[in-house]
Structure 1
Amino acid sequence: MKPFGKKTLAMLLLSCMMLVAAGCGSNGSPTQEDTASAAPETSSKQEEPVKVVWWHSMSGDVGKAAQQLVDEFNAEHKDIVVQAEYQGKYDESLNKLKASLGSDSGPSLIQVYEIGSRFMIDSKAITPVQQFIDADKYDTSRLEPNILNYYTFDNKLYSMPFNTSNPILYYNKDAFKAAGLDPEKPPATYEEVAEAAKKLTKSGQAGGSFAIYGWFMEQLFANQGAELLDNGNGRTQAATSSLLGSDAGVKTLDWWKRMVEEKSMLNLGRKTDDTSKAFAAGQIAMTLDSTASLRSIVKSAEGKFEVGTGFLPKADANVKGGVIVGGASNWILNNRPEAEQKAAWEFIKFLAEPKSQAEWHINTGYFPITQKAYDEPIVKENMTKYPQFQTAVDQLHQTTPSLATQGAVMGVFPEARQLTETAIEEVLNNKKSSKQALDDAAKAITSKIEEYNKTVSK
């Protein structure tokens, strides 16, 4: 190769200097071409999806059903990614939230059981979903009114219901036939249950068993139109005392104890798992359990006997009452960025859609919170397969709205429920009378309410 001449070398050096000058200004700022080439990277960063961390308390098959909904939402929303994180049972999850308050270690969204509602509001750590409802002009009339009723405080919806249930009576239709009882007519009152239990009791089979569960006592109060707390069940203003020792409580516990004493009703302790297993084994002919357990209870009896379902028994057939919704709702935390809260709201709306609620219902047994979900073909097919579920739907729709059926609210509800269960145990184990046990529990609950109220800023 021939060496460059002086003229050629000078031209090359001039060209290089021009290229450098074109690439950099006097202040070192990027050129238009550089900016254009960097634009895709900047745009990519801006378009990263908003992350929503959802704490929940659903495990097993129910947890899988929840994750399925999360996956469907994420597939449909490229600008949002929901990360579902199981935090243990409701009590555990709420305790973890309490520990996270005041830091950034908590979730964007959390599922909290219904009895945690008062604490969540008083915590001042949440953004009421009513704000998003109003901003979006979201139509809540599509949702079940008796479900919304529970989660509405001062005409405001603070959280969005998600998994909802109520208690029903399960009974063994084959055992009813054998005892000369009408298998299509479940007992509807306390007295009818007691009479049926006597007839159903025989060698190897008791008339029934109810788990010692505070939720059942709360429901049996509401079914008498009786309030569990003062100040309109804690709805008209903050509750200050428990009414557990009222006539409604004594009447209920006396009835329960009498059946245990007559040996027509077994005392199997606090776990509904134990009563449902005894029911499936044919050891008891009647039990109380959540509507969310319907599929598993019916399946466990397949090939052995037909399961019937009835409304929660009433103390008096002439008294208007009904059931309180159980389950949980989703709450948006207010210490998260606005974009994150809005993304959480989008996920909440998705969970409430008829299609989502239809899937959730057939995969778990929880009620659809959206009325139009019942029009979905998969729900109609499921109702044909499990006609017993119609009982639960009818019971919800026939519940008379009142402060009693709206449900009691207090910041110490988990503790109150435990104290109620201890009182029931004391009575069934012949340690105290119904009146004494319930009065003692009411006094202890009232004391806890007073302590809690002192901690809540007015």
Structure 2
Amino acid sequence: MKHTQRSTQQPLSRRGLLGIASAGAGAAALAACGGPSVGGDDGGGGGDEDATDYSDIEPATEIAFWSSHPGGSKDVEAELLKQFTEKTGITVNHVTAGSNYEEIAQRFQTAQAAKDDLPAVVVLSDVWWFRYYINGNIAPLDPLIEQLDIEISDYRETLVEDYQYEDKQWALPYGRSTPLFYYNKDHFAAAGLEDRAPETWQEFEEWAPKLTQGEVAYMYPDLAGYAGWTLQNVLWGQGTAWSDEWTMTCTDPTTIEAMQWVQDSVYSNGWAQVSSSDSADTFAAGVCSATIASTGSLIGVLEAASFEVGVGFLPAGPVDGPVCPTGGAGLGIPAEISPEEQLAGAMLIQFMGEAESTVAFSGATGYMPVRKSADISELLEKTPQIQTAIDQLEVARTQDYARVFLPGADQEMANSVGTILTAEGDVEDALTDLQATLEEIYSSQVEPKLS
């Protein structure tokens, strides 16, 4: 990838940042992922200077689990926690710590000062777990994984590797998803189109004028939660990205060209609009013929739609594809709680990641089963569309550093895309402002904390 405007920051190598990571880290509850800022003067490291020996520690008998119930998972979580207590004797206080990832992030940050009001397990989204690593707020899971003999090799590699930094594991997968291309089969049939997702965005541009059954052919997801995440597909497909490791590439001519194409789809060409709320709901109501939404929205869409729903891979671009990011949440453990609570928390993470548990969670939400050994035959009989999400992992890619490792960057991307798509602002000006903002976040909040 050619970059004509690069910052003077020295990039940290991909191997140094994500170990052997090869695929990226959104979900139905992804909205408002700005999260808290990085603060304090403590260096990074997540409390791993002197690894705890858990071999002689008895797990706590009562712990708290903080969740935002991604994908409407409160009921299935409650059932799984009940089973965990029956199996281990450990009581779990099931806390609704926020309605989305940002709210739970804010509460977790506030609790750091008290230190006596922390959970044993907390839901960590893809856009804010790293800031807790560099603040030293989360514990490395490696000694707990070793103590409990958790089968890391049985997790899907493209999901578990998202939480690795400097050869340590900082969370394990939980509510994980890819964005999918959703389409209204009735609308496609009425337009004389094949019953499949488009292979490329250029192909969909050719199809769009024929899709007249809905108010609009395509609905971009609501920007607050999805702009930075899903538009990686468009950028990557055109041979660019939000960043090249720690070098911001928003002002690369190819990035500008890609985002101009996005703006033109709404204004000059008129085949797309931007959803003002959850585009999955808009799609299920039949307002648009197609959209992109998380697999975490899948069950809800299938239940709400009065038409047959089709799903497919994200379309490819003229340079690369099909290609997509993964996203969603993992489960982590605070660094400041007692070893007894940490051990009990790790036992809970282990249980929530067991094959049977992940199948139950997937069946209730649409998120992907995170274990290879999970028997998903019954799940696929009921919801065969989940197989598409699993297959798409083969073309998943590590998310851009700019989105997932810069505090608040996801919201800055949403604001910039809002300028481009809802205010029809100048694309190059908006991306120039975004690049300056992201570089300032890196230099002031991240670079000083990286060793």
> TM above 0.5, one fold?
yes
State how 1:259-298 maps to structure 2 within 5 Å: 259-261=265-267, 262-269=269-276, 271=277, 273=278, 275-298=279-302
How far does the alpha carbon of each residue in 1:375-396 deviate from its partner, in whole angstroms, 9 at most, with x for none? 2xxx322312222222111101
Partner of 1:312: 314
State how 1:54-453 maps to structure 2 within 5 Å: 54-58=65-69, 61-78=72-89, 80-88=90-98, 89-102=100-113, 103-183=115-195, 185-201=196-212, 205-211=215-221, 212=223, 213-214=226-227, 215-222=229-236, 226-230=240-244, 233=245, 239=246, 241-247=247-253, 249-261=255-267, 262-269=269-276, 271=277, 273=278, 275-302=279-306, 305-316=307-318, 319-320=320-321, 322-373=323-374, 375=375, 379-396=376-393, 398-399=394-395, 404-408=397-401, 413=406, 415-429=408-422, 431-453=424-446
Equivalent residue of 2:401, what SS? Answer: coil
How far does the alpha carbon of each residue in 1:45-91 deviate from its partner, in whole angstroms, 9 at most, with x for none? x999622211111178411111111111001112x222221111221
Q: How many Å separate the matches in 2 of 1:146 and 1:161?
A: 10
Q: How many Å separate the matches in 2 of 1:160 and 1:420?
A: 26
- Quote the sequence identity (%): 27
Structure 1 residue 406, shift from structure 2 partner: 5.0
Gapped runs of 5+ residues in structure 2? 1-56
Output the amino acid matched with 1:55: W
Bigger share in helix? 1
TM-score by length of 1: 0.78
Structure number with greater CO (CA < 8 Å, separation at least 6) is 2
Equivalent residue of 1:110, what SS? Answer: strand
Equivalent residue of 2:311, what SS? Answer: strand
Output the amino acid matched with 1:209: M
Equivalent residue of 1:83, what SS? Answer: strand
CA distance 1:248–1:417, change in 2 (3 Å)? farther
How far does the alpha carbon of each residue in 1:292-337 deviate from its partner, in whole angstroms, 9 at most, with x for none? 11111122223xx211111112212x62563222111111112222
On the 8 A contact 2:68/2:104 being kept in 1, the answer is yes
Equivalent residue of 2:364, what SS? Answer: helix
How far does the alpha carbon of each residue in 1:201-245 deviate from its partner, in whole angstroms, 9 at most, with x for none? 36x532111122322123444555644334xx3xxxxx3x43233
RMSD: 2.5
Q: How many Å separate the matches in 1 of 2:59 and 2:274?
A: 56
Q: How many Å separate the matches in 2 of 1:155 and 1:320?
A: 29
Structure 1 residue 114, shift from structure 2 partner: 0.9
Equivalent residue of 1:101, what SS? Answer: helix
Structure 1 residue 434, shift from structure 2 partner: 2.2
Gapped runs of 5+ residues in structure 1? 1-45, 234-238
Larger of the two Rg values belongs to structure = 1
Partner of 2:51: none
Structure 1 residue 120, shift from structure 2 partner: 1.5
Q: How many Å separate the matches in 1 of 2:142 and 2:254?
A: 35
Query: How many residues in Structure 1 have an aligned counterpart in Structure 2?
Result: 388
How far does the alpha carbon of each residue in 1:361-404 deviate from its partner, in whole angstroms, 9 at most, with x for none? 1011111111111x2xxx322312222222111101x226xxx5
